[in-house]
Amino acid sequence: MNFVRKILNSRTDSDGDFFVELEDILGFKTKKKKIYKKAFTHRSMNQKDSKGNSVNYERLEFLGDAMLSSVISAYLFNEVPSGNEGYLTKMRSKIVSREHLNELGRDLKLIDLVRSRIPKDNFGENIHGNIFEALIGAIFLDKGYNYCERFIHLRVISPYVDIERLEGKIISYKSLLIEWCQKEKKNFKYDVYEDTGNDELKHFAVKLFIDNRVVAKARATSKKKAEEKASKRAFFAFQKQITS
């Protein structure tokens, strides 16, 4: 009797709710449930397995990134037979960009399933894309490549991938702006400094100089984001010259 009770209690109500929500997102029943729990465990939980290895989503994120890249590459290879290597690489980068993955994770509300000791409001924006990749890694380990491919087609390719629209999408305003400056032989400089505002999270501010003149300013929670935001503002200020 104790043995039966132990089995019945082995999955808590909380776990039950977790898998009901997760399987609704996945569209199939999971088998290796521990993998999925790991995919939604933040490092702040400080969990270890019996061998002392960290239990969190980060290794699954690495695996999911590779699987996503593989499936998207195969899709583009078959969908655009006229595309050369450079074109296919560029298009894949647009589909699996951090911005796009964050959008996917947000739309699926994956953050609601994350276990963490940190308030979710304190997470950086990339948590959404990181968890999405970890989930793909978990699917691969649980069900194999075919299920992984099916999920990516269902949740990424069918609802979001429009080849014509993506062809015109800019991945990095900073790269585009630097390329234009080099082509036009213009001097440019990103002056980044820590912003001493009253925000709870640390912010960075940036001034973008072109030919020794400030053309854009921005602030964000990382140097990279601040530079990209300033570059986007500068791009729209110089759009006619850049795109002509």
Residues known to be catalytic:
65, 133
The count of C-alpha atoms lying within 13 angstroms of the C-alpha of 244, restricted to the half-sphere facing its C-beta, is 6
Beta bridge partners of 220: 204
Q: Rounded distance, CA 221 to CA 223, Å?
A: 7
Instruction: Name, in order, each residue with C-beta under 8 angstroms of 124's C-beta and a sequence gap of 6 or more.
Output: 221, 222
**Which runs of consecutive H residues, i.e. helices, occur in 110-172?**
127-143, 145-152, 158-160, 163-167
**Residue 9 labelled as part of a binding site:** no
Distances from the Cα of 241 to the Cαs of 12, 189, 195, 237, in angstroms?
61, 19, 31, 9
The SS3 call for residue 66 is helix
The DSSP code for 126 is T
H or E segment to which residue 89 belongs: helix 85-95
Residue 58 annotated as part of some ligand binding site: no
Measured distance CA(236)–CA(243) in Å, rounded: 10
Q: How far apart are CA 60 and CA 54, in angstroms?
A: 12
Which neighbouring-strand residues pair with 115? Answer: 41
Q: Is 130 annotated as a binding residue?
A: yes
Burial class (CB in 10 A: 0-12, 13-18, 19+), 45: middle
Instruction: Name the binding residues for Mg(2+).
Output: 61, 130, 133
Instruction: Name the binding residues.
Output: 61, 130, 133
